[in-house]
Structure 1
Amino acid sequence: MPAVSGASATASDPAPRSLRADARQNLDALLTAARTVFARSGVDAPAREIATEAGVGVGTLYRHFPNRAELVAAVFTTEIDATAAEAQELLAQHPPGEALDLWITRFTRFVATKQGLSAALRSGDPAYDTLPEQLMGKLGPAIGSLLDAAVAAGEVRPGIDPLELLQAVGDLSHRTPSPDGTPNPMVRLLLDGLRAR
């Protein structure tokens, strides 16, 4: 995806307030489409495939995201935010142990959207510099709150490090992704091992 001139949305602010309603709608459509295409085809998918999925022209894609790195970072950031926010929503609607299981399922879907991102993160592109910190800084506390609630309810054994659990689930999901977004059997086995006996 070559660099072209034009205003861009940054990963930290994917929907600036100054955007007109139609431009904001296009931006949202592009981020949703890119998330879908990246999960299906990886982060190196053709720009035309993303634009077609969004129902916009390739020029619209380039106006918002002059280069591939900015688009990848924006998708990744919005997914981090949405995944983190869902932890409290699930705790409000389900018992703690069930909320933890449902969030882990959500996290495995998040992992599926980042096919090929590991190589991109090692590329040295400054657009990716803050992504690892955002990932651990937002998803760590999210899974930590779920674990704390489940431990307090007596549903999960104490002493589990939330960041280690996040890393373990991420590793298993990345190595053997499930096509339907549900946790693979090894993730299920890991979660069963957390249960208080």
Structure 2
Amino acid sequence: MTARSDAETRRADAVRNRGALLAAGERVFARSGAEVPMEEVAREAGVGRGTLYRHFPSREHLLAALMEGQAAQLDAEARRLRAEAPPWEAVTAWLRRYDEALARFRGAAAHVGAGFAGGTPVAAACHPMRTAFAGLLDHARSCGQVRPDITAEQVLALVAGLPKDAATGRAQSQCLDIVLRGLRA
């Protein structure tokens, strides 16, 4: 075997292992929550701990990789709502969709909410959707429909930190409703 084919084999293995880890992380986090021991993800993927940590040095890195797709969908949803819905309806519809996304993995909301304060991998993964939501919020604010003294990051962290319904993992509906009423100008 040539050195080139050895390198290609290693690259193919790395791609396959990363895919297996992402699929396993998706299943394990959905089933057991984002705080499950990382070794359970490696076991489910059929790889060793070293392989897991080579691809994802921390839980935050794995969670960020899993959330990138959700963040891209939320980014696209914000753009669609901005073009198609009245400003206040766009903000409320998007925040409800954001809450659904947070419920995907029990315990992930705490990582997302905390991530807005600093440069974490989850914050980096969520940056596009955070920017798109800020545009929605600013548009509603410019139309006089949202209070002027709150930032997009504050709203997102607040929704992420709401008490969760045990059955769905989503924010308790009355709590989300209180937040939405509190945003109105």
* TM superposition score category, shorter chain reference: 0.5 to 0.7
Whole-Å separation in 1 of the counterparts to 2:184 and 2:26: 33
1:194 is aligned to 2:183: yes
Partner AA of 1:76 in structure 2: M
1:162 is aligned to 2:152: yes
1:103 is aligned to 2:94: yes
Task: Specify which of 79, 102, 122 is matched with residue 70 of structure 2.
Answer: 79
- The root-mean-square deviation of aligned C-alpha atoms, in Å, is 4.1
Q: Tell me the alpha carbon deviations over residues 98-126 of structure 1, each in whole angstroms, 9 at most, x when there is no partner.
A: 1111111121122222626868xx9xxxx
Q: Tell me the alpha carbon deviations over residues 135-177 of structure 1, each in whole angstroms, 9 at most, x when there is no partner.
A: 56334322211111212333323232111111111111xx424
Q: Which runs of 5+ in 1 are unaligned?
A: 11-18, 52-57, 123-128
User: Is the helix fraction higher in 1 or 2?
Assistant: 2
Paired position in structure 1 for 2:128: 138
* Contact 2:130–2:152, Cα closer than 8 Å, also in 1: yes
Q: Which runs of 5+ in 2 are unaligned?
A: 1-8
TM-score (norm 2): 0.62
User: Quick check: 140-149 or 36-45, which moved more?
Assistant: 36-45
TM-score (norm 1): 0.59
Residue identity over aligned pairs, in percent, reads 29
Partner AA of 1:148 in structure 2: D
| Structure with greater Cα Rg | 2
Whole-Å separation in 1 of the counterparts to 2:52 and 2:11: 6
Distance 1:178 1:32, change over 3 A: farther
